Amino acid sequence: MKVGFRKVATSRWEFSNDKFQRGKRDLLSHIRRRKAWSNRPQPPLPPPHQNQSNNQDEDQRSTSTSSSSSSDNQQQRQLTMINILVDENKRLKRENGVLSSELTSMKRKCQDLLELVSAYVGREQGEREEKRLKLFGVRLEVKEGGGERKKREKEEEEVYETARLLLSQSCK
């Protein structure tokens, strides 16, 4: 009984191994290639999880020709590549999680900074209001020479709006 790959068409492979199941990538590492009759050394395999059914598969000997041996080598390389890609995928998912948490932290800090700047500007405007003179509980308008006060307020407002815009864009 031959277990493994079976060529059906030039563009399609069918798998007859029990470990090939749709959506169960973790089973791929349990697949073992049968030993060939020749005594030439095989390339070392990464140590996958072993169980007793895998040991039984290893004990079976193939009666295939040298062409199937090269096919087995190709299959082994493909499985090794799959294992490498699965490991890299896991590593990238971990890195993505770390980066995602860092991004969340930076967004929170940016939002805190934006709130701090807003509070500071609000306090500055409140202090400016308190500095104006009161007469019978009513604040008096004090005119500064040449419209300097309006110019200063306009500049302060532009700085505030620019800071708010930059911070809000960087916090997205």
Is residue 3 over pLDDT 70? no
- In this structure, what token pair is assigned to residue 126? 């409140």
Give the end-to-end CA distance of the chain in Å, rounded to a whole number. Answer: 60
Q: Which pLDDT belongs to residue 171? A: 63
Task: Give yes or no for residue 73 having a pLDDT over 60.
Answer: yes
Q: How many CB atoms lie within 10 A of CB 140?
A: 10
Helix (H, G, I), strand (E, B) or coil at 116: helix
Rounded Cα gap, residues 57 and 48, in angstroms: 14
Assess whether 84 and 109 both reside in one domain.
Answer: no
Domain with 121, as residue range(s), is: 103-170
* Same-domain pairing of 71 and 116: no
pLDDT tens digit sequence for 21-45: 778 888 888 877 766 555 555 555 5
pLDDT at 1: 47
Please give the tally of structural domains in the chain. Answer: 2
User: Is the overall model pTM greater than 0.85, yes or no?
Assistant: no
User: Would you place residue 56 in the very low, low, confident or very high pLDDT band (cuts 50, 70, 90)?
Assistant: very low
Domain finish residue from 73, 97, 121 = 97
Domain identity same for 128 and 166: yes
129-136 contacts at long range (C-beta below 8 A, 24 or more positions apart): none
Name residue, tokens 């701090």. Answer: 116
**Residue 142 near residue 131 (C-beta atoms within 8 A):** no
Percentage of residues in the chain with pLDDT exceeding 70? 51
